[in-house]
Structure 1
């Protein structure tokens, strides 16, 4: 039995819906927060092939879990090619993301309590 505060999200269905939105968006991206609690937040992000996330600051603690597609995450020192099923700890430094094919990933971040 599920408690009232529990919520089920089908990431496959949500990914398909958000990728449709990303394909019609000028930016080539769409996102939705699927969980936001006291200590962590999870956001599903979708991107069309060829789009990018410009260099930006990293949260203090984060993971990126590939749901579909392939991306390259790059910091000033290294880059990582990620594909469907990969889970990565995001480096705590400035980084960018290049989207190789239509992609979706789940970004989990710790909520700053300060």
Structure 2
């Protein structure tokens, strides 16, 4: 078992994001390339974004601190601390309207094995 303080980690990464030229800092809390489930803590300085990218499967954004705007096409959703936003399929962006820390959870679709009917 592993225990991680998202609050302490978020505070650390937000401090790093405030000093970084990119205005962001991130750490994979759970998962990785060998897992389908992946949880990534992301800190964004106010005014910074995760530029438009594709949803890798199923994903949620949990706002731990600050405020963010999740945009997909012409639709957008505001996120405040405690909010859980479901990331829509397709292209989307996340904008930090305040210094923010989010927990991005993704489940990458499993590839069909070679020779299966879905392949």
Asked if TM exceeds 0.5, the reply is yes
TM-superposed CA distance for 1:108, in Å, is 0.6
Match of residue 30 from structure 2: 35
TM-superposed CA distance for 1:88, in Å, is 1.3
Partners in 2 of 1:27 and 1:93 — Cα distance?
Answer: 24
1:29-59 deviation per Cα after TM superposition (whole angstroms, max 9, x unaligned): 0000010173301000000011112111112
Q: Secondary structure at the match of 1:101?
A: coil
User: Is residue 4 of structure 2 the alignment partner of residue 9 of structure 1?
Assistant: yes
Q: How many pairs does the alignment contain?
A: 109
For structure 1, the 5+ residue unaligned runs are: 1-5
Contact 2:36 2:108 in 1 (8 A): yes
Moved over 2 A (4+): none
For structure 2, the 5+ residue unaligned runs are: 112-119
TM-score, length-normalised on structure 2?
0.87
TM-score, length-normalised on structure 1?
0.90
Higher Rg of the two aligned structures: 2
